[in-house]
Structure 1
Amino acid sequence: MSEATTDRSALTEEEREIFDTIDIEEPWNLLEEFAELNRLSGTEDERRAAEYMTGRLDALGVEHQRFDPELYISQPHDATIRTINKTFEPGIVKTVGFSASTTVQAEVEYVGTASSDLVDDGVEGPREPFAELDDLEGRIALVDGGSFSIGATTVLEEKGAGGVIAIHEHRREPHDGIATPVWGGAPPYDERERIPDVPIANVTKHDGGILRDWAESEEGLELELSTELTTDWMACPIVEARIEGKADPDNDDFLLLHGHYDSWYVGITDNATGDAGMLELARVFNEHADKLKRDIRICWWPAHSTGRYAGSTWYTDEHAVEIAERCVAQVNMDSPGAKDSAEYTDMSCWTPEAHGLVTDTIDDVAGIPSAEQFPPRAGDYSFDNIGVTGFFMLGSNIPKEIRDERGYHPVGGCGGNSDAWHVSTDTLDKAGKDELLRDIRIYAVSILRVLNAELLPFDHTRYADRLIDVVEEYDEVAGDAFDFGPTIDELAELREAIESFRERAEAGDIPPSVANNAITELSRTLTRLYLVEDGQFEQDPATSRDPVPRYDPAHEFARLDGDERRFLEVQMKRAQNDTVHELRQARRRLP
C-alpha cells in the first residue's frame, strides 16, 4: 500500500481531534471475534455477533437498542449436479438465496453470456439478456456470465427454463449470491410472482467449461440438478446506536451511518471491516457528542446477503416518515480496509451533490486517488426511493493494475479481491490494519463535515448539471421520436434558482434552519429523479438502472415502429409531465 498523506492543515481543530482519537484496537478486536463466526442470517453465529456489538456498545456507554424483526430470507444449503449421459465429478457447486429448493432432470442448453443485469453488489453488463433466445421448453439453461445475474435468470425463467446453472469466473469455488430481484426479500403481495421458481446453481469456471463443451456437442448433455434451501421468515437482530449531538440540542436532524454484519462464511472484508469501523465511529462520536450539532444513528443490518437487504429495508419501512423529514444523509460502510487498497476509484459511489464533500475529504485525510461512480441498485441503499443523499457504498479498492497482476476478475466488494468476495477465503488475512484505520478516518471526517455544517455541504447546482447532461443524452437517443426539451429547460431554470438560493444562504440572508430544510428537500426531488422509478415509500427492484430510469425506455425508440413506437411516446409524455411538475414544485419551494 502506498503511504497515505494527511493534510492536517486542511482539517479543523475538531476534525484533527477526532482524527487523532480513532484507533485500530477496538476495530481489530471485532475482526478477531468475527473471524470465528459464520454470520449467515437466521443463525446462532449471527446472534452471537449482534450480542458482541451490543456488549461493546454497553461497555463504551453508547445508547443503543436491538430489534428482532422477522425477515423473509433464504438460506442456501446444498446443490448437486449429476450427469446422466456423461461421467463427471464436479468441484464445488453452490445454490443461491431464493432459488427453488427442488430437483429437476433435463437436457442442458448453453445460452451464452449472463452478465446482463445487476449482480450482487453492483456488477453490470449488457442491457438486454437473451433477447434473441428461443423458448427453452423446460431445459436447464447453462449460462456463461462470470457472476450470477438476476435479470438474466428472470428472462430464462420467462422463456421456460426448468433450471439455471451459472458458470463463474472463480476457479476454486463459485461465489455465493442471491437470485431474487425483490428488494428486501419479502415482496409486496402484488409482486409475489417475482420470486424465482426454478432451481439455480453456480459452478466454477473449470467445471462450467466441461459442461459447455458437452452441451454444445452433437450428443448433448442431460443432467439432474438438485438444490436445497430454507426460505422462511426468521428473526434477525438489528442493532442501532443513537448519539445525540449536544452542541445544538434543538436540531434533531440526523445522519444515518450503516452497514451489514451478516456474511457469507466469516466475511472479514465483506463486511466485518465495516462493522468494526462503525463500532469505532460509535465510540469516537459518542466521546465527542458535546461537539456535534446534529445527531448520528449507526445501524448494523442483518439479511443483506440472504434477504436482498431485508434488514435495512425493514428499518426504512418502520422509520420512513422520520427518514423523509429528518435524515440529511445516509452513509454506507461496506468493505473498507481491504489489504492493499489504496484508492477510492472503482467501487465507491455517491449522489452528485456529495461529490465535493467526499473527494475533498479523501484528499485531506489520505491524499489518495478518488473518482465518482454512479450508485448501482445495490449495497444497502434502501433509502433511494425516499430521496436521501448518499455517499460511499463500498470502501476503498485495490488498484486495478495490482488486481490484474494477481489475476482477479471483477467483483462487487472486498476492495476488488475476487479471492475474498463471497467465498470461504474472505478471512482475517484479507484485511489490513493501516488500510482500515485510514478508511475509518476518511469516513469520520466526511461525516463530521455533515454533522457540524452550518449549511449542509451539498452542491445541488452540480446535481442539476449532471441531470441536464443525462437528459440531453436521452434527447439525443430519442432523436425525432421524442423531445425532452421541456425537462432540460426546467432543469436549467431550477439550476439557476439553486445557485441564487445558495448565494443568499451563504450570505446569511436566509436562516440556516430554513436553508437546510430546502437543501434536504432538493435532495428528495433530485435523488428520486436520478435513481428511482417507483413511489417514495416503495422499493425499486434490485436490477440494474441507468441515471433517470423513468426515461430509460427512450432507448427503445430506435428499434420500434408503428403502434409500439406511439405507445412509447405516450409513456414518455406522461413521465415528462410528472418530471416537469416535480422540478417546478422544487423550484417554487426554494426560499
Structure 2
Amino acid sequence: MSREDDDGLLAGIDASAMMGHLEELARWTKHAGSDEEKNSLDYIKATLESYGYRTSLIRHPAFISLPVDARIVIDGMTIACITHSHARSTPEGGLTGRLVHVGRGSASDFARDDISGAIVLVEGLVSSGVTSRASAAGAIAQIHLSPHEQPHEGGVSPVWGSPSIDDLQLMPSTAVLSIGRTAGRSLVDAALAGSIDVTVHATVDTGWRLIPLLEAHMPTVKDICEEPFVLLSGHHDTWHRGVMDNGSANALMLEAARILAQVRGQWKRALRLCFWSGHSHGRYAGSTWYADNRFEEMERRCIANVNLDSVGGVGATMLENTRSDLSTGSLADDAILEITGQRRRGLPIQRNCDMSFWGVGIPAMFGLLSEQAPENIDFDIPCGWWWHTPDDLIDKISPDFMARDTKIVARVLWRLLAEERLPLRFKGYLDIIGRTLTALTPAHRQDLDLEPVLLKLSALESLLLEFESSTETGSAHDDTAIKLSRVFTNLEKVGGDRFSHGLVQAAPVVQDEASTWPVLGPFHLANMTPSEEKDWYFILQSAYRSRNRINAALAEAITILNSSRT
C-alpha cells in the first residue's frame, strides 16, 4: 500500500454526498424502537447495499426509556422543563416537597443539609452520579439547572446497557427534571430566599421493547471463512433530529464505506459496520447486546472498534483531544497529524460513545473525534451548546469539517484493512506498567515481591521488539497481534469480570493514562500510603491481587509471542 494509493483514496471523498445523506436523516426523530428510526435505518441499509455490502437488520430486546412530559409548579405558576431517560415517573398529582439548593451536587453538597423528602435543585447537567447521591440522601426528586437556555436531554441510569437481575437495585429511584437557565435561576433565588415548596410532574415511558441494529459486512475478495474484520460503528438513535449527534457520524460511515469498497481488491481484512440503537435511550443497550450475543465471534475476529460520535460540527477545530487505546494510538497520531497538522495529546480513551467491547478485548478508537475550539467550549460540552437539544439541526454541520473528519477515519481504516501487517503496537502497555511498579518505594516493592513481574516485563519487551520489527506478514502475524490485543485491552480496561459491563462512570479528572487502569489503582494507593498507616495491610491485599493479575497477563503474552516464533 503506497502513499499514492492513500492520497488517491482520500481525494474521492464527497462532502456534498454526505450533506445529502444528512438531509435525508434529518427528516426523522429517531427514538429507539420507533417507526421513524426504522425508516431512517431503511435508508442507510439501502445505501450500503447499493455499495455492495451484505446487510442484516436485527431486532433485539432492550430496556428503553423515553421521556414523555414534565412540568414544575411553584406558587401556582407552571414552568416548562423536561424529564430524563430511566428517571422515575411521578404519581398522579405529582410530588411536592421543599426545594433545597445543593450546588453542583457533590457528596459534600448533599451532606450540608438534611434533604430527606426534599426536592433538590442542582446546578449542571444530569448525571448518574448525582442521581445516585440524591437517592441515597433521601431526596424524592431532582431539578437540574441547565447551563444554557435549552435544557439538555440525557439519561440517568448508572448501569451500562440493559440492566440484569443483579443491577435492578441500582436503577434510579427519583424523578429527575431539567430546566433552562433563565427559568432555573428564579428557582435558585426562591430556594436561597427561604423554605418553599415545589411540585414536580414527570412521565417517563420505560420498559422492554424491540429495537433495531443494522449490521453491514464486506469481506475481502478472497471471502475466506473466519477472516478478521475491522468494526466501524456509531449509534443511530437520536434526541430530536440529532443531525450532529449522531447523523453526522452515520453519514461519515456511509461515505467511508463507499470509498473503501472501491479498493476492496487491496484489502487484507474485512470491514463490518454496525449502527446501534439504544445508545441515547438505553444507555448503550445496542452495542452492549452485540457484545453479549456476538462475544465469541468478536473475540476471534474483530481487530478494532473505530467508533464515531458527533463529527463535523461547526466550530469543531480541535482534534488534539482525540482519544485512542494504546495499541491503536499511533494510527490516530499519524492520521490526525497528516490531515490537520495537529498533534494528538495522547489522552486515554473514555468509557462512553458505545465503548462496550473492552471485556471482549477489542481496542477502540475515537468516539468523539473533533471538538469545539477551546474558546467555544462552555460547561464541559465539547460538542457544542446545541448538543442533546432541538437545535441540533443541519445548520450545525460544516461540510469542510465533515470532509476533514472523513479523511482521518478513512486513512485509519485503510491502514487497518490494507497494510501487510496489522499496525497495532503494544510496547506502551509495558512502559506504563514498568513506570508504575518502579515508582514504588524499595520497601513497597519488597513487600509486594515484584521481581517475577519485572523479569517478565524485560523478557516481554525483547519479544515484542522482535515481533514488531520482523518482516512476517499474513494471517499468522495478524492472529498474534489480535491475541495480544485481547490480553492488553483486558488488562488495562477491565476492573473485574470481563463478561459483565459494570457501571457508567464519569470521566476521570486526572488525564494520565496510568491513572485510568483499574489494575494499577492499588499501586498508586500504596505509593501514597506509608506502611505504618493502619490501612496499609488492607491496601497490600489489593496490591497482591493486582500484581498476580499483571503477572498472569504478561505470562500469557509471552506464551503468545513464543508460540508465534515456532
TM-score (norm 2): 0.90
The whole-number CA distance in structure 1 between the counterparts of 2:538 and 2:346 is 36
Q: Which residue matches 1:5? A: none
Q: Distance in 1 between matches of 2:250 and 2:175?
A: 33
1:530 corresponds to? 492
Q: Does 1:95 align with 2:88?
A: no
Identical positions, percent: 27
Structure 2 portions without partners, runs of 5+: 509-514
Asked if 1:194 corresponds to 2:170, the answer is yes
SS of equivalent residue, structure 1 residue 464: helix
Return closer, same or farther for 1:98/1:27 CA change in 2, 3 Å cut-off. Answer: same
Q: Is the 8 A contact 1:354 1:459 kept in 2?
A: yes
Q: Hey, what's the Cα distance between the residues in 2 that align with 1:23 and 1:74? A: 37
Residues 207-234 of structure 1 deviation map (CA, whole Å, 9 limit, x = unaligned): 33322232233x3121111211100112
What SS class does the counterpart of residue 40 from structure 1 fall into?
Answer: coil
| C-alpha distance after superposition, 1:29-86 (max 9, x if no partner) | 2100122211111222111111111122233332111101121110011121112xx4
Measured after TM superposition, the shift of residue 190 of structure 1 is 1.4
Amino acid in the other structure paired with 1:168:
S
Please give the secondary structure, in 2, of the residue aligned with 1:227: strand
2:541 aligns to what? 570
Partner-residue secondary structure (3-state), 2:166:
helix
Please show how residues 172-571 of structure 1 align to structure 2 within 5 Å.
172-184=149-161, 186-217=162-193, 219-246=194-221, 249=224, 252-346=227-321, 348-401=322-375, 403=376, 408-412=378-382, 416-418=383-385, 420-469=386-435, 475=440, 490=453, 493-494=456-457, 497-508=460-471, 512-544=474-506, 546-552=515-521, 566-571=537-542
- The separation in 2 between residues aligned to 1:554 and 1:132, in whole angstroms, is 30
Q: CA deviation at 1:512?
A: 4.4
Shift, 1:269, TM fit: 1.0
For structure 1, the residue ranges without an aligned partner over 5 or more in a row are: 1-9, 117-127
The residue type paired with residue 37 of structure 1 is: W
Could you say what secondary structure the match of 1:313 adopts?
Answer: helix
What is the aligned-residue RMSD (CA, Å)?
Answer: 2.8
Residue 512 of structure 2 is matched in structure 1 by none
Q: CA deviation at 1:555?
A: 6.8
Q: CA deviation at 1:262?
A: 0.8
Which amino acid is 1:390 matched to? A
Q: Which amino acid letter does the alignment assign opposite residue 178 of structure 2?
A: N
- Check conservation: 1:471, 1:488, Cα contact below 8 A: no
Q: TM-score, normalised by structure 1?
A: 0.86
CA distance in 1, matches of 2:284, 2:412: 24
Contact 2:45 2:214 (8 Å CA) reproduced: yes
Q: Does the residue aligned with 1:101 lie in a helix, a strand or coil?
A: coil
Farther-moved stretch of structure 1 (369-378 vs 462-471): 462-471
SS at match of 1:337: coil
Output the amino acid matched with 1:552. G
More displaced, 436-445 or 495-504? Answer: 495-504
Q: 1:357 to 1:220 in 2, by over 3 A?
A: same
What SS is found at the alignment partner of 1:189? coil
Q: Within 5 Å, give how 1:128-139 maps onto structure 2.
A: 132-133=111-112, 136-139=115-118
- Classify 1:556/1:493 alpha carbon distance in 2 versus 1 (closer, same or farther; 3 Å): closer
1:417/1:483 CA distance change after superposition, 3 Å: farther
Counterpart AA for 2:102:
V
Between stretches 571-580 and 264-273, larger displacement belongs to 571-580
1:276 and 1:454, CA in 2 relative to 1: closer, same or farther beyond 3 A? same
Give the Å deviation of 1:496. 5.0
Out of 129, 136, 156, which is 1:158 matched to? Answer: 136
Contact 2:214 2:274 in 1 (8 A): yes
Matched AA of 1:97: S
**Equivalent AA in structure 2 for residue 165 of structure 1:** I
Q: Distance in 2 between matches of 1:386 and 1:165?
A: 38
Residue number among 28, 32, 35 corresponding to 1:41 in the alignment: 32
How many residue pairs get matched? 550
Residue equivalent to 1:76 = 67
Counterpart residue number, 1:31: 22
Classify 1:291/1:192 alpha carbon distance in 2 versus 1 (closer, same or farther; 3 Å). Answer: same
Q: Contact between 1:138 and 1:162, CA under 8 Å: does it hold in 2? A: yes
1:530 is displaced (CA, Å) by 1.9
| Structure 2 residue aligned with 1:57 | 48
What are the residue-to-residue correspondences of 1:117-156 with 2, within 5 Å?
132-133=111-112, 136-144=115-123, 146-156=124-134
Equivalent pair of 2:110/2:137 in contact (CA under 8 Å): no
SS in 1 for 2:457: helix
Q: What is the identity, as a one-letter code, of the residue corresponding to 1:518? A: T
Q: Distance in 2 between matches of 1:469 and 1:249?
A: 42
Structure 1 residues 523 and 155 mapped into 2: Cα distance closer, same or farther (>3 Å)? same
1:539 to partner: Cα distance: 0.8
Q: Distance in 2 between matches of 1:317 and 1:32?
A: 34
State the AA in 1 paired with 2:156. Answer: A
Report the secondary structure of 2:298's partner residue: helix
Distance (Å, rounded) in 2 between the aligned partners of 1:400 and 1:261: 27
**Shift of the alpha carbon at 1:554?**
6.5
1:565 to 1:188, Cα distance in 2 relative to 1, 3 A? farther
**Does the CA contact (< 8 Å) of 1:343 and 1:369 recur in 2?**
no
Note the alpha carbon deviations across 1:313-368, whole angstroms, 9 max, x for none.
Answer: 1111111111111111110011111123223123x210112221111112223334
Are 2:460 and 2:557, in contact at CA under 8 Å, matched by a contact in 1? Answer: no
Q: Distance in 1 between matches of 2:247 and 2:208?
A: 24
